[in-house]
Amino acid sequence: MTEERSSRLQNFPISWFAVVMGMTGFTIAWHHAEILLALPVRPSLVLLGLTIITFVILLALYLAKILKYPNQVRAEYSHPINLNFFPTVSIGLILISVALLPYSNPVSLVCWIAGATLHLAFTLHVLSVWLHQTHFEVDHLNPAWFIPVVGNILVPIAGVSHASPEISWFFFSIGLIFWLILLTIIFYRMLFHRPLPARLLPTLFILIAPPAAGFISWLELTGELDAFARILYYVAVFLTLMLLTQVKRFLQLEFFLSSWAYSFPMAAITIATFIMHTQLQLPFFKGLGVVLLMLLTLLISVLVWKTAQAVRCRAIAIEIED
């Protein structure tokens, strides 16, 4: 039994933290729905508690892996695909700070500082690796590469409440520019090279997250629904439509831990839609937001169920290989 537990810890993948991103986005989406729909119950509080507990457990497990199996962690950290999932830790902290903001400004501030600082460090390191790499190939490229650099676009959502807006503009600028750069490269890879392997196909949904999250951050920074905000939102809507038209293809995939890549982007477009309704007071956006929230709730329920099954069957390990 001890050897079995050691083996599971040794193969514990960093991509587990994508679960925290999805759960936090789900929590924030429900919080917006509670306000918009004047719900008498507050499921977001329960979801927030579960999300924080999940984050703490995952962090404790990965720290144990770092201490006990440093070579395996180094191998994962130097892998051209797995490397991009390490910043899900810092993004998880940033999103938790957003979810905590309505309830505890001081705790939210601590999470935001830790998350933003760690994410900047990850960004600088990953960019350094990209610039000086000697073993990456075009087939290694996939939408998960957005996570380390474009993830900076999330910082202003809570950042405008915690620090000088100039700090938030700094992070937003990094995320926006590298979103456009990486978007071009990723479409080139998908159009002119081999298709993504099945286990990475769910990462296509990550395409939705930068414009949807960028829309939310832009409104926090500027305070108005201007032309650029609309461009970001409608690009996110189009990408969502594009991917939902291929739902049959995604439903045919078996479950991987990477399937959690569906969750946060869908949460981001749901939140953005609720915010559009708040800005414009048009019934269409309220209805669309509710529909997206129901889809998101179904999606998260299925992901939690399939994840629990995979854990019980010991089917989750470091899935992404060369």
DSSP secondary structure of 214-231:
HHHHHHHHH-S--HHHHH
Asked whether the predicted pLDDT for residue 122 surpasses 50, the reply is yes
pTM of the predicted model, to two decimals?
A: 0.93
Residue 162's CB: how many other CB atoms inside 10 A? 21
pLDDT, tens digit, 9 for 90 and up, residues 223-237:
999 999 999 999 999
Mean pLDDT score across all residues of the chain: 92
Domain housing 79: 2-312
In a domain, 146, yes or no: yes
In a domain, 253, yes or no: yes
In a domain, 320, yes or no: no
In a domain, 321, yes or no: no
pLDDT, tens digit, 9 for 90 and up, residues 232-280:
999 999 999 999 999 999 999 989 988 999 999 999 999 999 999 999 9
In a domain, 318, yes or no: no
In a domain, 125, yes or no: yes
Closest CA to 232 of 269, 282, 183: 269
Of 154-158, 185-189, 220-224, 226-230, minimum mean pLDDT range:
185-189
Q: Can you count the helices (H) and strands (E) in the chain?
A: 14, 0
Closest CA to 140 of 100, 200, 92, 86: 200
CATH of the domain at 44: 1.50.10.150
d(CA 84, CA 92): 14
d(CA 17, CA 318): 13
Closest CA to 36 of 316, 293, 304: 293
Residue 101, amino acid: L
Residue 240, amino acid: T
Tell me, rounded to whole angstroms, the distance of Cα 80 from its chain centroid: 19
In a domain, 297, yes or no: yes
**Mean pLDDT of the 127-138 span:** 83
In a domain, 152, yes or no: yes
Exposure b/e, 147-156, CB count within 10 A at least 16 = b = bbbbbbbbbb
Residue 212, amino acid: A
- Token look-up 């915690």 returns 162
**Mean pLDDT of the 178-201 span:** 90
Give the count of domains, the chain. 1
